[in-house]
Amino acid sequence: YVGGLTDFLHNQVTFAGLNEYEVYTNSIVAGLLGVQYNPFKSIYATLRANVALYDFAEKNPDSWTSSNNLLSGYSLTAGYSSGFGPIQFSLLYSDQSKSFAGYIDLGFHF
């Protein structure tokens, strides 16, 4: 399962720009680059960008670079580290869907 900013399942690949479990694939290679800025002790902003090649195990190597097999996504997160865990508000964008999505994360995940 590919998508989301936090991993809930055992084999989930987190991917900024996609909602939780938006893509299902048996093969994926993904890269993520992120930077976090802390202007104050408990407040931070995080920018993430990632790219992935998926479904390549079932196809001919000549078709790996087709636009149907590429994913790219971005997210901008504003967060606050509270005593109850992090509170985060994110804006997600994916080049494939060409749409924005919101994401709210409250507290620790168990």
3-state helix, strand, coil in the chain (%, to 5): 5, 55, 40
Largest pairwise CA distance in the chain: 52
More confident residue, 109 or 10: 10
For 57, the token pair is 């195990």
For 14, the token pair is 């987190």
User: Mind listing the pLDDT tens digit for each residue in 51-74?
Assistant: 998 887 766 666 555 557 889 999
What's the pTM?
0.81
Q: Where are the alpha helices (DSSP H) in 1-110?
A: none
